[in-house]
Amino acid sequence: MSPLKSLTTARLSTGSNQSALILPRAMQTLFVLFLMLSALMLVPDLAWSSEGAIATEAVVEDVVEHEPAPVMGPRDYRQIGSMSSRSFVWVIAQLHLFLAAFVLAVPLFVTVIEWIGVKTGDQRYDDMAHEFMKVSMTAYSLTALFGGTLAFSLFLLYPTFMGYMMEVFGNQVMVYALLFFLESGVLYIYYYSWYALRYGNKKYIHLTLGVLLNGVGTTLLFVANAWATFMMAPSGVDDAGVVTGGIWDIMRGPLWNPLNLHRFVANIAFGGAIVGAYAGYKMLSAHTMAERAHYDWMGYTSNFIAVLAFLPLPFAGYWLMAEIYAYSQQMGITAMGGILAWLFIVQAVLIGTILLAANYYLWNGMSRCAGSSRYTWLIKYIAGTLVVSFLIWVTPHTLILSAKEIAALGGSHHPLLGPFGIMPAKNIAVNLMLIGTFLSFQLYRRSDKVITVPWAGFGNALMVAIYLIAIANVIFLGVYYGYFTNTVYKVGSSVAQVMSTLIVIISGVVIDTMMFKGAKTLPVKWGQISNRGVYALFALPIAFTWLMALMGYVRSSVRTHWHVYTVMKDNSVDNFIPNIGHAGNMMTVATISFLAIVLFIFWVASLGDTKQPKPEKIANPAQ
Amino acid sequence: MNMLKNWILSFVIAIAVFYTMDHAIMSMQGLPLNINMTPAQ
């Protein structure tokens, strides 16, 4: 069985094999070439010649004189009634970001799933990809609605600030608008041509449309990210805010690529979690075993996408924070060592929730296959590791104490638990949680296989050795360099910890792929999972959504009392970091609103399949 | 006996890989280590 087929079992409990899709080699070659070209186009440094662009821009910039950032006064801020402008924009912007993340993410994994359908010849993948797109179509128009509302509210409530941003970014905003025309056109063609371009050469045309859609969507993301990162770490302007560089200098600030990577990957994880909830809902409300089995499989695939994308996220976030520290120590300390530090404890709670829910779903899913009984004894150790790591991650460094409590404690830090409050302990915890989650995945993948390669004994021994040495290495690096050497070695050791986790993941995938060659497949009963396991699919998007809102609050707040950090001061009535309690309420309002919108999206997606039965002949009431 | 050899070889490989990786990653960051993993600076 090919590795791709081994990702999910080929047979549903009531399904049958589908006919293969036959595609000529020439079309395959063209498609691969297109993929490579698209990848090149998406690499910002190669997309257009930066030197050429700057040279051209420099000639133009010599002629145009730019104004410094304006000093804002009360007349530069507006309000709608007595409502706080910041609160209003906060909720609208957050809802726009939730929806945008969803509609950008879905086409990414839909194209991959469609491609898997082509390679395996299994039409179920094609049907699932189409169903995911159907769910995201409603979300697309809502994204645009909230985007328009956000734009109107920013121009209405912060006209002077927006005037400065237009001064800086210039025609780039029109590029953003034009990209939306392209995105909409390609999206509608991609979705509505699904069945018209389903087989043969036409399928490759459809896949090409999918790649184009993702290219445009990713470009939209990168363009919008530039505005956010400019506000945090302005580039291409001098200290007074006068534009000194070209648009490329303005966009490519120190935080742009870290945010690009982080949001790109996080969107995929988020999108997977949302469609997982859709699959969970459809499974629990299924009327037939076949329907239940289909949506169970869809839920597994969604969870797989969400967790696969989630695993590298801590590293992308670490890079973003490292760049923030490198840009401004003050900003970095505000984020993680000062007033916003406690938010990272809340982040730990949410990520712990996500990992526990994802693992719980996998453990429950193991009941689909009798072969899993070989591995279920490991679950309690993975669960124990997750819980202990979670508790360490959640332990704060500074405690909220009265003077009397500080005196009783002998200081502001707990004598025993205080050491768990600093980054070395958190790094150990998060790496162990990720290793444990990957182990759950690996056990699940092995559950329905009986390995037959002659070197299975060595392969299994090697896998066990890699896990044990990686865990020991992560703990050693964190404890020794974290507590017994200087700060530079402490920070540097975290990179080696990340590499340890990556070695486990990569070697696990490679060794298993080689060991699965010629493996016997055991039957898997899709649909045979406890409802408790399916509830985990609802917990995932809730935690993801709240986590996004939380991190958005951190990102905005690190600017403290600046609209554009160190360049344009915030002189509004809201020029302070809102307290955590207020922020918690705002985030919860945004999260609940978004979840209500998601329910609406699911309902509309199902509505399209609902057909009212034709009524029986009714007697004419006039007779 | 074969199984014992498998286990010993596996652990030797794993330790070698992680030990080499630690040295390489720390050196790349300008943080060399001694053979006993203590900081060389």
Question: Could you please report the per-residue DSSP string of A126-195?
Answer: HHHHHHHHHHHHHHHHHHHHHHHHHHHHHHHH-HHHHHHHHHHHTTHHHHHHHHHHHHHHHHHHHHHTTT
Average pLDDT over residues A406-411: 86
| Contact (CB, 8 A) for A305 and A109 | yes
- Predicted complex ipTM: 0.97
pLDDT band per the 50, 70, 90 thresholds, residue A308: confident
**Per-residue confidence (pLDDT) for residue A3, from 0 to 100:** 39
- Among A18-27, A71-80, A248-257, name the one with the lowest average pLDDT: A18-27
**Per-residue confidence (pLDDT) for residue A614, from 0 to 100:** 86
| Contact (CB, 8 A) for A111 and A211 | yes
Average pLDDT over residues A408-437: 90
Query: B26 and A493 in contact by Cβ < 8 A?
Result: yes
Cα–Cα distance measured from residue A297 to residue A299, given in angstroms and rounded to the nearest whole number: 5
- Among A188-192, A405-409, A516-520, A538-542, name the one with the lowest average pLDDT: A405-409
Query: Residue A470's closest chain B neighbor by CA?
Result: B18
Q: What is the pLDDT of residues A126-140, one digit of tens each?
A: 999 999 999 999 899
Q: Does A475 touch chain B (CB under 8 A)?
A: no
- Among A26-30, A98-102, A159-163, A186-190, name the one with the lowest average pLDDT: A26-30
User: Taking Cα atoms as reference points, which of A356, A375, A355 lies closest to residue A366?
Assistant: A375
- A563 membership: H or E segment, kind and range: strand A562-564
**Which of B7, B10, B19, B41 should one mutate to test binding to chain A, selecting the residue with the greatest count of A CBs within 10 A?**
B10
In B, which residues are within 8 Å of A458 by CB distance?
6, 9-10
Q: If interface means Cβ-Cβ distance under 8 Å, which residues of chain B face chain A?
A: 2-3, 6-7, 9-11, 13-15, 17-18, 21-22, 25-26, 29, 31, 37, 39
| Contact (CB, 8 A) for A594 and A545 | yes
Q: With 80 as the cut, is the pLDDT of residue A201 above it? A: yes
Q: With 60 as the cut, is the pLDDT of residue A30 above it? A: no
Q: What is the DSSP letter of A449?
A: E
Which residues have CB under 8 Å from A86's CB, separation 6+?
A: A572, A574, A578
User: Taking Cα atoms as reference points, which of A73, A92, A71, A72 lies closest to residue A83?
Assistant: A92
Query: Residue B15's closest chain A neighbor by CA?
Result: A469
| 3-state helix/strand/coil string of A394-437 | HCCCCCCCCHHHHHHHCCCCCCCCHHHHCHHHHHHHHHHHHHHH
Name the residue facing B18 among A457, A470, A489 (closest C-beta): A470
In B, which residues are within 8 Å of A502 by CB distance?
none
- Tell me how many helices (H) and strands (E) chain A has: 23, 4
Instruction: Report the percent of chain A where pLDDT is more than 70.
Output: 89
Cα–Cα distance measured from residue A267 to residue A101, given in angstroms and rounded to the nearest whole number: 5
Backbone phi, psi, residue A567, to 5°? -115, -45
In B, which residues are within 8 Å of A473 by CB distance?
18, 22
Query: Residue B29's closest chain A neighbor by CA?
Result: A492
In A, which residues are within 8 Å of B18 by CB distance?
469-470, 473, 500, 503
Average pLDDT over residues A22-36: 52
Q: What is the pLDDT of residues A544-570, one digit of tens each?
A: 999 999 999 999 999 999 999 999 999
More confident residue, A40 or A476: A476
| Contact (CB, 8 A) for A469 and B18 | yes
pLDDT band per the 50, 70, 90 thresholds, residue A16: very low
Instruction: Report the percent of chain A where pLDDT is more than 90.
Output: 74
The alpha-carbon gap from A374 to the nearest alpha carbon of chain B, in Å, equals 19
**Which residue in this structure is represented by tokens 């508790």?**
A391
pLDDT band per the 50, 70, 90 thresholds, residue A609: confident
More confident residue, A16 or A297: A297
Q: Does A458 touch chain B (CB under 8 A)?
A: yes
Other C-beta atoms lying within 10 Å of the C-beta of residue A202: 14
**Per-residue confidence (pLDDT) for residue A45, from 0 to 100:** 46
What mean pLDDT value characterizes chain A? 88
Name the residue facing B11 among A465, A488, A495 (closest C-beta): A465
pLDDT band per the 50, 70, 90 thresholds, residue A4: very low
Q: What is the DSSP letter of A371?
A: G
**Which residue in this structure is represented by tokens 């966009």?**
A251
Q: With 60 as the cut, is the pLDDT of residue A304 above it? A: yes
| Contact (CB, 8 A) for A121 and A19 | yes
State the count of interchain CB pairs (< 8 A) between A and B.
Answer: 61
Cα–Cα distance measured from residue A556 to residue A483, given in angstroms and rounded to the nearest whole number: 32
Q: With 70 as the cut, is the pLDDT of residue A591 above it? A: yes
**Per-residue confidence (pLDDT) for residue A336, from 0 to 100:** 83
pLDDT band per the 50, 70, 90 thresholds, residue A35: low
**Per-residue confidence (pLDDT) for residue A621, from 0 to 100:** 58
**Per-residue confidence (pLDDT) for residue A544, from 0 to 100:** 95
In this structure, chain B runs to a length of 41
**Per-residue confidence (pLDDT) for residue A411, from 0 to 100:** 84
In A, which residues are within 8 Å of B14 by CB distance?
462, 465-466, 468-470
**Per-residue confidence (pLDDT) for residue A318, from 0 to 100:** 85
Q: Does A457 touch chain B (CB under 8 A)?
A: yes
In A, which residues are within 8 Å of B10 by CB distance?
458, 461-462, 464-466
Q: With 50 as the cut, is the pLDDT of residue A49 above it? A: no
User: Taking Cα atoms as reference points, which of A122, A110, A134, A115 lies closest to residue A203?
Assistant: A115
Average pLDDT over residues A101-115: 95
Amino acid at A348: A
In A, which residues are within 8 Å of B4 by CB distance?
none
Other C-beta atoms lying within 10 Å of the C-beta of residue A596: 10
Structure tokens at A228: 């956010």
Query: Residue A495's closest chain B neighbor by CA?
Result: B25
**Per-residue confidence (pLDDT) for residue A22, from 0 to 100:** 36
**Per-residue confidence (pLDDT) for residue A315, from 0 to 100:** 83
- A3 membership: H or E segment, kind and range: helix A3-7
**Which residue in this structure is represented by tokens 């530069």?**
A76
Structure tokens at A553: 């609050």
| Contact (CB, 8 A) for A481 and A489 | yes
Query: B10 and A462 in contact by Cβ < 8 A?
Result: yes
**Which of A427, A466, A476, A515 should one mutate to test binding to chain B, selecting the residue with the greatest count of B CBs within 10 A?**
A466
| Contact (CB, 8 A) for B12 and B5 | no
Q: Does A73 touch chain B (CB under 8 A)?
A: no
In A, which residues are within 8 Å of B9 by CB distance?
458, 461
Cα–Cα distance measured from residue A109 to residue A214, given in angstroms and rounded to the nearest whole number: 10
In chain A, the largest separation of any two C-alpha atoms, in whole Å, equals 97
Query: A464 and B18 in contact by Cβ < 8 A?
Result: no
For A155, half-sphere exposure in the C-beta direction (CA atoms, 13 angstrom radius) is: 6
Query: B10 and A458 in contact by Cβ < 8 A?
Result: yes
Question: Could you please report the per-residue DSSP string of A322-335?
Answer: HHHHHH-HHHHHHH
Q: What is the DSSP letter of B1?
A: -
Q: What is the pLDDT of residues A489-515, one digit of tens each?
A: 998 999 999 999 999 999 999 999 999
**Per-residue confidence (pLDDT) for residue A618, from 0 to 100:** 61
Q: With 50 as the cut, is the pLDDT of residue A2 above it? A: no
**Per-residue confidence (pLDDT) for residue A32, from 0 to 100:** 58
Query: B31 and A495 in contact by Cβ < 8 A?
Result: no
Q: With 70 as the cut, is the pLDDT of residue A15 above it? A: no
Task: Report CA A456 to chain centroid distance, whole Å.
Answer: 36
**Per-residue confidence (pLDDT) for residue A38, from 0 to 100:** 53
Cα–Cα distance measured from residue A130 to residue A194, given in angstroms and rounded to the nearest whole number: 7
Partners of A83 in the β-ladder: A80
Name the residue facing A492 among B17, B21, B31 (closest C-beta): B31
Burial of A328 (0-12, 13-18, 19+ CB in 10 A): middle
Q: With 50 as the cut, is the pLDDT of residue A156 above it? A: yes
Q: With 90 as the cut, is the pLDDT of residue A94 above it? A: yes
- Among A60-69, A279-288, A509-518, A591-600, name the one with the lowest average pLDDT: A60-69
Q: With 70 as the cut, is the pLDDT of residue A90 above it? A: yes
| Contact (CB, 8 A) for A477 and A424 | no
Query: Residue B12's closest chain A neighbor by CA?
Result: A465
**Which of B9, B12, B31 should one mutate to test binding to chain A, selecting the residue with the greatest count of A CBs within 10 A?**
B31
| Contact (CB, 8 A) for A250 and A168 | yes
Amino acid at A508: G
**Per-residue confidence (pLDDT) for residue A165, from 0 to 100:** 96
Per-residue CA distances from A82 to A87, A88, A340, A586 (Å): 11, 11, 28, 17
Q: What is the pLDDT of residues B8-34, one digit of tens each?
A: 999 999 999 999 999 999 999 999 999
